[in-house]
Chain A
Amino acid sequence: MLTNYGNSLLESFIVLQPVLILVVTLLVAIVLGLVVKTRNLNAPVFILGGCLSLFSLLVSDLNGVSAFSGMVAYTPMNLIGQILILGSALLFGVIHLFNQDEKCNLEFFALVYGIVIGAMVLVISQNYLLFYLSLETISLSSYALTYFGKGTNREAAIKYLIFGAVASAVMLFGISFFYGLSGSLDIYTSLSMISNEAQLVVVVPLVFFLTGVFFKIGAFPFHFWLPEVYKSISYSVIGLFSTVPKIAMFVFLFTWYYKFKGFQISGYSLAEFIAVIAMITLAIGNFTALKQKSMKGILAYSGIANTSYILIPIIVGGKIGSEAFLFYLMGYIIVLFGVVLILNVLKIDDLDDFKGLGKSQVFIGISITILLVSLIGLPPSIGFASKLLVFIALWKSAILESSTILKSLFFFGIFNTVVALFYYLKLPFMMFIKEGYSKQVYITLASKIIIGLFAVSSVYLFFKIDLVLMLLKSFD
């Protein structure tokens, strides 16, 4: 049962301490930035804050605690969600430890703090108001972060802003319907009241609400902003954008959707609608990625494709769904940040510029090949383990519900691995098989060690599937 600290404001703030630590760190960073005129401190302070926040999250027994009159609550799912968000944020910080020369000044980091804090609040929010506020915190910081720097990215940022504003307006409209139908802003009270309503009345706000959600996770038909934004931001920010806000939204969606699981629209369950969307998203992501000429383009469309793989365990739901879901997210974070770290060190975008790089940078070439193999989902890699779990869960659910659409999703999803192979392999192909002159890159030993750790762990964790699953289950 939920321990309710709802009546005491002070105790409620204690429940919120992982978030508050980040807020305090942000303030400290701002003050430090004014006093000490060096950028080198930003990343270490960020990492320190993240570590403290993670530490407080792990030591204080927050599982099953709710606060602020039920505005926020911790469940095992969103507890792990917060851990994953902080983990991604820390990995982002680690990338910037090795990347001091970029324009990563205080303003840049302030916006990153904004995204992380917003995501941390979003996963635990139990109220549409808080949900919307934290979502906008993420969104506004993201728009600004895209605008950051010089050159072409301004156009992308403005587009992102306009589309994002429309999407969240539509979503807000949906939320207002929910409120109107149920008289409550509490997400789960409102959901349980709505599910008794007449279908058509619920379908409209449902579609409006999902518009906002799909926009954030980059699912069809609201994926179009993603490639342009990704092409105009740096690799490290790509890593941030494809993990922190998305994880928050996915974790929220997992719990939110589960309440709606039985909802039927003219004989089809909501699961089947999302399954169709997942299939289209997968097709668009994978097939468009084939035509990309730059790594950022490939990462953008692979992000879209991965969105649909993460939608699968959300559709399945339940215990096995949640385990596959968290496992997939964890594997994705590790592998994605490994790839992003390497690309960030190399600072090459155009695929043609990778020609012959494998000969001069053997270690980097092997590491990125291992990580990309993991993204494809070939054994022995953590990517294979996550795909195996996801598809086992999906098959079980498809058989149980004897749904043709879910079965189609199974086959469509699993065969899309072949398409994924084609574009992920382009980089190793350029590096090792194409001949060419590559630009000279100097890579420090420290970054080599970190890169090696990413590559090794993506393989090692495959052999330790049980370890990872036990770790995830230990929060139950």
Chain B
Amino acid sequence: MNNILSIIVFLPLLIAFLIAVMPKKLEGTFKYISLGANILVLILVFSLLGSFSLDSVGLGTSSYQFVERFTWFSVSLSDYGIFSSNYYLGIDGLSFSMVLLTSVVMLIGNIASFSIKKNLKAYYVLYLLLTTSVYGCFMSLDMLLFYVFFEFMLLPMYFLIGIWGGPRREYASIKFFLYTLVGSIFILIVMIGLNLSVIDIDASIVSLGLSESIDLISPELKTDVLNQLSQGALTSESLVHTFDIPLMMDRANYLPGSVFSQSTEIAGSVYNYNLWGIPLRNFAFLALFIGFAIKLPSVPFHTWLPDAHVEAPTSISIVLAGILLKVGGYGLIRLGYSIFPDGAVEYSYLVALLGMISIVYGAYNALAMKDLKKMIAYSSVSHMGFVLLGLAACTVEGVSGAIYQLFSHGIISSLLFVVVGVIYDRTHDRTITNYRGVANRMPFYTAAVIIAFFASIGLPGFSGFIAEILVFIGSFKSGVVNDLVPRWMVVVSLSGLVLGAAYYLWTIQRMFFGEFWTKDKNYKELMTDLNPREYLMVIPLVVLALYFGIFPSRLLDLISPMVTAFVNMMNVYAN
């Protein structure tokens, strides 16, 4: 099948339509239909594992697999040139690891959705729409397509939190929407600038009439046209402006004199447009960084996350922490770093600083939280800080660690929200101080919580450990090889680990150990141990967290070609 990626993206959409037209009296079957769709997608995604080649190289057009690319629209805007966009899907190690994560988390989220009781039709339609847009986001290699999927995530999420959420859901859902939309606007601005700057050479050759079709273009002709382009000898009417992300990574494709172009000599880059002495390209990087840092989220853009998590139903919390935050990290690597490596290197200090602040500030906040879910939300902020720290280092270990952290946090945070959901489903109370000695009443649940907490602390044997150790090695190494991350930041960040242990162990001690006591006496009957459906969610996630903690090479092999190419590209600018 050579359109398997499209099938993965649009199968959930198709099922969403199916559920939408089904009569309301079949309401009980919706969850199983949605579950079936998610299982089917999971099987399709894992079937890609077999044929995914691990030795693809480079970071350009050739490094993506299962590529689907055809013209979405291409229309002449007279003096602007040809305005075009492609339907362009493809995956490399980075996106594949995210797609694998999505397939698992979406399935777990679907099982968690079984506790949703009202308005099932709308719920599952929105859930499947969300699934489609997440897959689309991770697979798109065309920025407009990416942006469409990226924005489309907001609407289902808004309603999922707004309709099925907790008491303050109205506030939380609109806050989520507004914050993320501000981020998207930053991304949109850069996207417009990139479209003005980036030229699809192959398509331009065809539109200039120099070649019959893209396949027939000889390398000589291409070099010739590239030379003409750099001399500004081509008429602007027949240049094809594109949203193609791989083409944006190559500076040869930039229209000379356009906003984001720079001279082709790497040493002493000359920029066309500066603002207050700073190249516009650096502002573009900052804009993308803010856009994705809101999604990630990083301090100081994180305040929407605790609200959204606290109000969202369990299943949506799982998806939010497990997948949607990862879109932020993914976008930062795929767009921010890959398209503007010069800006990324320039501001690596800032990125690392925000990473460090997120780690420490998030951990201190988690320590202070009385609500279990809020504590985990802040621990997410803290853990996402590691992604920034690893990325800022621009070393193989650091970047691998960042991607590993995205993956591992996806698994572990899902597990954490599953276990919080267990107690919330029973008593509708998540206040830590309202419970004592839960272990006496719910021993298996306590075991699950302790495993989840230890995985999140980064205990050796769990995937979080591998991710964090890689990030620390990478960022320490940065002080030796490229001097992008100062050592003191890494040292301060290390304290985040200690704080992490503190808030988790303290919570375990307060909630689970000691004599059984609850603030409300009625809780006693409600607090039954894990049921089979909850085991079904907990066990796979625990197994995965352990598996990727013990066999890190499974994931590292997948991402290493991409990471190597990425770091090589960054090194050009870092030295």
Contacts and interface: CB of A to CB of B under 8 A. Distances in A.
A399 B182 CA distance: 23
Contact of B152 (A319, A380, A464): A380
Given A433-B159, A433-B162, 11 more contacts: A319-B77, A319-B79, A323-B77, A378-B155, A378-B181, A380-B152, A396-B196, A418-B185, A421-B177, A421-B178, A425-B158
A464 B72 CA distance: 8
Contacts of B73: 464-466
B178 A392 contact: no
Interface string A354-390: 0000010010000000000100001110001000110
Contacts of B174: 422, 425, 429
B195 A433 contact: no
Contacts of B77: 319-320, 323, 469
Contacts of B76: 473
B192 interface: yes
B116 interface: no
Interface in A392-438: 392-393, 395-396, 399, 410-411, 414-415, 417-418, 421-422, 425, 428-429, 432-434
B259 A432 contact: no
Contacts, number: 91
A373 B158 CA distance: 13
B148 interface: yes
B182 A433 contact: no
Interface of A: 318-320, 323, 359, 362, 373, 378-380, 384, 388-389, 391-393, 395-396, 399, 410-411, 414-415, 417-418, 421-422, 425, 428-429, 432-434, 463-466, 469-470, 473
Interface in B174-196: 174, 177-178, 181-182, 185, 188-189, 192-193, 195-196
A320 B77 CA distance: 6
A320 B151 contact: no
A396 B74 contact: no
Contact of B80 (A378, A380, A392, A418): A392
A392 B189 CA distance: 9
Contacts of B196: 392, 395-396, 399
A134 B239 CA distance: 43
A433 B169 contact: yes
Contacts of A318: 79
A412 B83 CA distance: 24
A25 B75 CA distance: 39
A432 B163 contact: yes
A425 to B, nearest CB: 7
* B80, B163, B189: most-surrounded residue (chain A CB, <10 A): B80
B170 interface: yes
Nearest to A370: B155
Contact of A418 (B163, B178, B189, B259): B178
B173 interface: yes
Closest 6 CB pairs of A and B: A319-B78, A466-B73, A433-B162, A466-B75, A379-B148, A320-B80
Contacts of B273: 399
A395 B241 CA distance: 14
Interface string B285-323: 000000000000000000000000000000000000000
Nearest to B258: A399
B124 to A, nearest CB: 14
Contacts of B157: none
A469 B75 contact: yes
Name the prevailing secondary structure of the B interface residues.
Answer: helix
29 contacts: A318-B79, A319-B77, A319-B79, A323-B78, A373-B155, A378-B181, A379-B148, A379-B152, A380-B148, A380-B152, A384-B151, A388-B188, A392-B83, A392-B192, A392-B195, A395-B193, A395-B259, A399-B196, A399-B259, A414-B185, A428-B159, A429-B170, A429-B174, A432-B163, A433-B163, A433-B170, A434-B170, A465-B73, A469-B75
A140 B335 CA distance: 55
A463 B76 CA distance: 16
B399 interface: no
B152 A465 contact: no
B276 to A, nearest CB: 12
Given A395-B196, A414-B185, A418-B185, A432 B159 contact: yes
A411 B189 contact: yes
B154 interface: yes
Given A414-B189, A432-B159, A378 B78 contact: no
A393 B196 CA distance: 10
B347 interface: no
Contacts of A384: 151
A420 to B, nearest CB: 10
B169 A422 contact: no
Contacts of A464: 73
Contacts of B181: 378, 417-418, 421
A394 B183 CA distance: 21
Contacts of B52: none
B349 interface: no
Contacts of B122: 362
Given A379-B147, A422-B178, A433-B163, A414 B188 contact: yes
A470 B83 CA distance: 12
Contacts of B80: 319-320, 392-393, 396
B182 to A, nearest CB: 5
Contacts of B188: 388, 414
A62 B162 CA distance: 53
Nearest to A433: B162
A24 B198 CA distance: 54
Contacts of B195: 392
Contacts of B148: 379-380
Contacts of A320: 77-80
Nearest to A319: B78
Contacts of B158: 425
A471 B575 CA distance: 52
Nearest to A420: B181
A473 B75 CA distance: 10
A3 B475 CA distance: 74
A469 B75 CA distance: 7
A434 B174 CA distance: 13
Interface in B102-156: 119, 122, 147-148, 151-152, 154-155
Contacts of B177: 421, 425
A429 B193 CA distance: 34
A378 B122 CA distance: 21
A449 to B, nearest CB: 15
